[in-house]
Structure 1
Amino acid sequence: MLVALHAAGIRPDVITFADTGGEKPETIKHLDLMNTVLREWGWPLIDVCRKIPLASTGYADLYGNCLANETLPSLAFGMKSCSIKWKAAIQDQFLKGAKSGPNARLPHPLWISTRAANERIVKLIGYDCGPADLRRSKAPKRPDDDFDYVYPLQLVRWTRRDCVKAITWALGADMVPIKSACFFCPASKQWELYWLAANHPELLERALVLERNALTGRHSRFDEVEFGATWEELVRGADRFPSTSTTVGLGRSFAWNQWARVNDVVDDDFRVRRGEADRARFAMMSDTLRDHDNALDSRTPGIPIVVIPAAEQMDLAL
């Protein structure tokens, strides 16, 4: 999105990124790389927003929140409260300020100036032109929302693969980032689990611990009576779960622990295999299963020639 805005000559006033505490190391590193680019452009640097929980909770991030409450991220149950709480709300507070609590802060000068002028801040969201993001952008907004929303990548009709090409052309192939997501995100695909096993086995192990903690904990939705065995027994001994509408793991319809066992990603103690041959196999499986529109795919040069109509440029600039 920043590449598209720069090509159109549209400079944002504020750039924010919400860090849940569970981002992959490559994503955090990419923030520094992008700040170098932004300095060269003379643009504002990225403001990293991070929720600070009450000290009494005993945790500092989303992973700790799930672990302490013996539950999975809400996306595992088809909800989005983790994203709202740890991403959207904290970025709103960065602009609007907060009067009390550990996240207390003064309103951003942009918020103050726009309110004084009886104007509204326009949030530019990086939803692309793929089917999933098109659905997200059409979701109804709250009628009392304090912001207006524009989706620049959809205005220029870029799919994710177009975005990969655009970043490669404008900044170089090394600047194409991996998808920003928690290492324990329930939306992860199996190629991403293999990628995690190959590159960050310690993070995959933490995700497996989180899943076992939740599905054997006090809030587990797994019905032992219905399935004739405990969740852990099925993970260790069965090749698959019985057909069920019950959330059975981080994969919603499958358990990451069972996936790891069946595919020989872990040993009997659910420790990720770290041998050179194992990690090479995981990397190969990740490459084999990855879709063509993922940022880790081939980064061929060239950028789609897309003309942004003047009227749409004006909409973006508001």
Structure 2
Amino acid sequence: MPLTHRQRHQLRAKLGDRLLAVCYGVGVDSTALLVALKLAGLRPRIITCADLNAEKRLTLDHLDQMQRILAQWGWPPVSMCRKKTLPGTGYDDLFGNCIANQTLPSLAFGMKSCSSKWKRIPQDQLIKGVKSGPNAAEPHPIWIEARRTGQRILKLIGYDCSPADIRRSRNLPEADADFDYEYPLQILGWMRADCIDIITEVLGADHVPVKSACFFCPATKQWELFWLAAHEPDLLERALFLERNALTGRHSRFDEVEFGASWEEMVRSADRFPSSNTTVGLGRNFAWNQWARINDVVDDAFRVKRGAADRARFLIMSDRLRGDDNARDARCVA
């Protein structure tokens, strides 16, 4: 049995008899969270997921897989939600927001407002409902029941026991005005490898997802950029355009007088790009466009190379740079 008697007891003691709402990110940890709940005999009342219109194709494929699994379990499907903007805004997603404002996602500057605005708030609104505006909707039955009975909804977040996730969970409140929060993977003591193993054992290796993130996420590692170049070059080109649009636009901090060349000229040369502790691109301390140029990923017009030999080289580099701490996911194969 994948869960020990003690683990099952721990989960049921913490989560049993509560109104459970799962925040589903379509990645390894949140998928393992669903599996753990199933093994413990716990059923969430709602599973929410924010649609940013920015996920990789394999992430969307995994979402379809999990919808079928949930139906087999007799569980509620993943409820997708998406922030709607006011008419005339000129954009309806985070990518468009960045393009219109000629800026990078807030994570590039060490902040997380993009996550709050486009992920957390829409999921809260899906549960609580919205009285007016473009996101107007009735509250979910779980919210109505909570108000009627005086119970509090317990939101379950898929943070594992890695040092980074432990830090994240400790910096978050245990409760706010509307919800309580719990981290079942930390109750179980699971690391990322444990999450991969449980998904593989219960659902099969083909149900271990890729890391769920926007294709232009500033937290993307260089091995993932090579993977993106090999598998989804169109998305990488869009991300490169977003970065150029931001760093050469009205907010550009790269003065030709100060740096001796324009930003466009600097990204074409490894030795002329400025060294800085501040954000210089989507990579926070490096520009994706320069990375693409010096690694021969793009041509002179910044189009991703698509030849068979180039794709093979990208896959080799991706595999070479991938560390042992990364998920054993579908990106390990061509």
| TM-score (structure 1 length as normaliser) | 0.90
2: CA distance, partners of 1:7 / 1:279: 40
1: CA distance, partners of 2:174 / 2:37: 26
CA shift for structure 1 position 262: 0.4
Q: Aligned residue for 1:175?
A: 207
Q: Deviations over 1:104-150 (max 9, x none)?
A: 11111110110111111000000111111111111133974311100
Q: Aligned residue for 1:309?
A: none
* Cα gap change, 1:39 to 1:297, in 2 (>3 Å): closer
* Cα gap change, 1:179 to 1:20, in 2 (>3 Å): same
2: CA distance, partners of 1:139 / 1:108: 28
Among 228, 231, 242, the alignment partner of 1:196 is: 228
Verify the 8 A CA contact 1:239 1:262 in the aligned structure 2.
Answer: no
2: CA distance, partners of 1:74 / 1:8: 38
- Worse-matched range after superposition: 221-230 or 124-133: 221-230
* Cα gap change, 1:240 to 1:119, in 2 (>3 Å): farther
Q: Aligned residue for 1:94?
A: 126
CA shift for structure 1 position 33: 0.4
Matched, 1:72 2:104: yes
Please report the RMSD computed on the Cα atoms of aligned residues, expressed in angstroms.
1.6
Among 117, 120, 145, the alignment partner of 1:113 is: 145
SS of the equivalent of 2:268 reads helix
Q: Aligned residue for 1:164?
A: 196
Q: Aligned residue for 1:7?
A: 39
Among 297, 300, 323, the alignment partner of 1:265 is: 297
- Worse-matched range after superposition: 222-231 or 18-27: 222-231
CA shift for structure 1 position 295: 2.4
CA shift for structure 1 position 152: 0.6
Instruction: Give the length in aligned residue pairs.
Output: 299
- Worse-matched range after superposition: 284-293 or 193-202: 284-293
| Amino acid paired to 2:129 | G
CA shift for structure 1 position 298: 8.9
| Amino acid paired to 1:270 | F
* Cα gap change, 1:240 to 1:20, in 2 (>3 Å): farther
1: CA distance, partners of 2:330 / 2:79: 30
Matched, 1:49 2:49: no
Matched, 1:37 2:69: yes
Question: Where do 5+ consecutive residues of structure 2 fail to align?
Answer: 1-32
CA shift for structure 1 position 297: 4.8
Q: Aligned residue for 1:280?
A: 312
Q: Aligned residue for 1:130?
A: 162
Verify the 8 A CA contact 1:23 1:180 in the aligned structure 2.
Answer: yes
Q: Aligned residue for 2:323?
A: 291
2: CA distance, partners of 1:142 / 1:214: 37
Verify the 8 A CA contact 2:267 2:287 in the aligned structure 1.
Answer: yes
CA shift for structure 1 position 102: 1.0
Q: Deviations over 1:256-279 (max 9, x none)?
A: 000000000011111100000110
Verify the 8 A CA contact 1:161 1:292 in the aligned structure 2.
Answer: no
2: CA distance, partners of 1:131 / 1:121: 27
| Amino acid paired to 1:198 | A
CA shift for structure 1 position 237: 2.8
Question: Where do 5+ consecutive residues of structure 1 fail to align?
Answer: 300-318
SS of the equivalent of 1:48 reads strand
Q: Deviations over 1:285-305 (max 9, x none)?
A: 111111223224599xxxxxx
- Worse-matched range after superposition: 229-238 or 68-77: 229-238
Verify the 8 A CA contact 2:108 2:218 in the aligned structure 1.
Answer: yes
* Cα gap change, 1:140 to 1:245, in 2 (>3 Å): same
| Amino acid paired to 1:2 | L
* Sequence identity (%): 69
Among 92, 97, 109, the alignment partner of 1:60 is: 92
